[in-house]
Amino acid sequence: MAELLRFVVPAGGGKTLLVWGLSPGPSADALQRALFSVFSQFGLLYSVRVSAHASGAAPGFHAVVSFYSARDARRAREACHRRTLFQKSPVKVCTGTRHWGFERRDLVLSSSKCRDLANYYLGFNGWSQRVLTLQNLSGFDEQENSAAELPCSGQRVRYLCVVEVVLPGYACQSRGVGIAEEHVSHRAELLGKVKETQKLAVQKALSNAFQKLQLVVLESGKVVVECRSSGDSEMEEGVEGLLQVRDVSGEDEGLSDCSVGAE
């Protein structure tokens, strides 16, 4: 049976495992690393969170392990339940059963997590990105040396970015928009704030572009990509309403690393 994966924060009990019976000896960090090593063998992990038992309970830890794929989570549970794994006593592994009492909106996946998901299922050479537009919306030119052009204290640096994600093996392209702003307290910090804002705008645009892609993972492991690009024309109209589009393709090389850093 095929499984649909979207570039959103994994939600739903089928993708979450609860691990009980972790020994109190190791630290939480050591347990987190050990659990990640074990469960990552079954598929790509979104997160591993380790917590101590509540006050009054027996000493020890429990953990929440989140997968992107419910299929991978099921395989991990079947293989690890009532096994000792990396400790002397066996652990209990069960599927999360949280039910929300309200309609829960999907949470956008960060650009670094989008990269992880794309690299895992499409390969490092299976996709690429390029910056189409990086526009200053702050109302001043950061390249000018004139003090009159610089923002005063309390103003903000604001940038808009348009990124295109290309999947050559699937003849698919997806564009995303990101707007970021940073508060400027002192003129001396302007250059640093400009770089931070540009980086954040690129990250948001990359994440937005991935939101329009869906991965269909077949039982055989083959991956099919669905591209929901119907909203690109509306997106471009909205962008044109904010700026006069300019081609910054010559700046791609310098901006390609903008979304690599931590978010």
pLDDT digits (tens, 9 = 90+) for 153-187: 568 899 999 999 999 999 899 999 999 999 888 87
Q: What is the largest CA-CA distance in the chain?
A: 69
- Read off the tokens for 233: 């024309």
Q: Is residue 254 part of a domain?
A: no
The pLDDT of residue 254 is above 60 = no
Count how many domains the chain has.
2
91 in helix, strand or coil?
coil
DSSP string covering 197-209: HHHHHHHHHHHHH
- Percent helix, strand and coil across the chain, each to the nearest 5: 30, 30, 40
pLDDT at 234: 52
The pLDDT of residue 250 is above 60 = no
Q: Give the model confidence (pLDDT) of 8-54 as tens digits.
A: 999 876 999 999 999 998 999 999 999 999 999 999 999 999 999 88
Q: Of the given ranges (67-71, 109-113, 226-230), which has the lowest mean pLDDT?
A: 226-230
Residue type, 190: L
The pLDDT of residue 1 is above 50 = yes
Q: What is the mean pLDDT of residues 83-109?
A: 81
Give the chain's length.
Answer: 263
Q: Give the model confidence (pLDDT) of 239-249 as tens digits.
A: 565 555 444 44
Task: Tell whether 78 and 177 lie within a shared domain.
Answer: no
Q: Is residue 214 part of a domain?
A: yes
Task: Tell whether 64 and 89 lie within a shared domain.
Answer: yes
Task: Tell whether 19 and 49 lie within a shared domain.
Answer: yes
Distance CA 158, CA 194 (A): 8
Distance CA 183, CA 138 (A): 11
- Residue 206 near residue 111, CB atoms below 8 Å: yes
Q: What is the CATH number of the domain that holds 51?
A: 3.30.70.330
Task: Tell whether 84 and 127 lie within a shared domain.
Answer: no
Task: Tell whether 61 and 125 lie within a shared domain.
Answer: no
Write down the pTM of the prediction: 0.81
H-helix segments, the chain? 28-39, 70-80, 111-122, 190-210, 232-240, 252-255
- Residue 135 near residue 159, CB atoms below 8 Å: yes
Beta strands in 1-69 (DSSP E): 3-6, 16-22, 45-52, 61-67
Q: Is residue 75 part of a domain?
A: yes
Higher local confidence (pLDDT), 145 or 84: 84
Task: Tell whether 72 and 119 lie within a shared domain.
Answer: no
**Domain encompassing residue 45:** 9-95
Q: Is the torsion defined by CA of 183, 185, 191, 193 positive or negative?
A: negative
Q: What is the mean pLDDT of residues 190-195?
A: 88
pLDDT at 263: 47
Task: Tell whether 22 and 120 lie within a shared domain.
Answer: no
Band (pLDDT 50/70/90 cuts) for residue 204 is very high
